[in-house]
């Protein structure tokens, strides 16, 4: 599997992570034996990289990795200080038509402690399908832009479910009937959450970095079927 490179300099590499690829091995995913993103990059470049931030296995899109371990904390400081802007695109259940800020706390899976979390949600497009999904005779979907102000685990998935617009393909927090419809009608089993872009001032070079990603193939199919254009 060839990993798409979005940006590279002497300090970092920014790549487009595919769906269902772990960034690195962990206790929570100890039963998954497939190559991780770090494994794939090591094979591709014959060198090691060091993740600066997290991205769920099921989420595709932009992720920043440092070339030297000692540089990780320099870039992580940008995240901790909210000096990095990340934009995600998601397909959710129902018609989502109004901007909203979701600020309900999210529970840490390790400590079981709830932490403050905030996500800005913006509608992009909607689609009504003449395909019945229990308990309705039609099905409705929305394309949305999500900007997290915090970085809690599963934050976007939890927040969208909290406001009754779960992300399609989310088998933990989502709607099984809509997930099943996407499997049956579109042969899609992936989570429709994509880390689309990232912007920040490079802490070493001081250059402004702005990177957008391409979408996975299952997204392109849905864009075509739903007649959605996104640039």
Burial-class residue 119 by CB neighbours within 10 Å (0-12, 13-18, 19+): buried
Q: Catalytic amino acids? A: 56
CB distance 17 to 11 below 8 Å: no
Tokens, residue 22: 């772990």
Q: How many CB atoms lie within 10 A of CB 69?
A: 10
- Which own/partner pairs from 105-112 qualify as long-range (CB within 8 Å, at least 24 positions apart)? 106/152, 106/153, 106/154, 106/155, 106/158, 106/159, 108/152, 108/153, 109/28, 109/153
Can you tell me the distance from the alpha carbon of 125 to that of 96, in angstroms, rounded to the nearest whole number? 8
The three-class DSSP label of residue 159 is: helix
Tokens, residue 205: 């070079």
Burial-class residue 86 by CB neighbours within 10 Å (0-12, 13-18, 19+): buried
Strand 119-129 relative to strand 193-201, pairing: unpaired
């Amino acid at each position: 599997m060839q990993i798409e490179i979005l940006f590279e300099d002497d300090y970092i590499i920014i790549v487009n992570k595919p769906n269902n690829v772990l960034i690195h091995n962990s206790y929570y995913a100890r039963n998954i034996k497939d190559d991780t993103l770090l494994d794939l990059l090591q094979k591709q470049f014959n060198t090691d990289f060091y993740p600066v931030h997290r991205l769920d296995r099921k989420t595709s899109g932009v992720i920043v990795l440092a070339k030297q371990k000692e540089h990780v904390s320099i870039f992580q400081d940008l995240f901790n200080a909210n000096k990095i802007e990340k934009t995600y695109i998601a397909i959710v259940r129902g018609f989502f038509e109004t901007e909203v800020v979701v600020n309900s706390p999210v529970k840490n899976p390790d400590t079981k402690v709830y932490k403050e979390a905030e996500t800005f949600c913006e509608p992009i497009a909607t689609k009504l399908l003449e395909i019945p999904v229990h308990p309705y005779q039609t099905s409705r979907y929305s394309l949305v832009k999500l900007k997290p102000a915090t970085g809690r685990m599963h934050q976007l998935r939890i927040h969208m479910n909290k406001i009754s617009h779960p992300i399609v393909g989310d088998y933990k927090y989502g709607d099984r009937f809509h997930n099943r419809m996407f499997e049956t009608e579109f042969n899609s089993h992936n989570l429709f959450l994509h880390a689309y872009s990232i912007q920040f001032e490079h802490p070493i070079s001081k250059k402004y970095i702005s990177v957008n990603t391409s979408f996975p193939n299952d997204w392109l199919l849905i864009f075509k079927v739903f007649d959605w254009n996104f640039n």
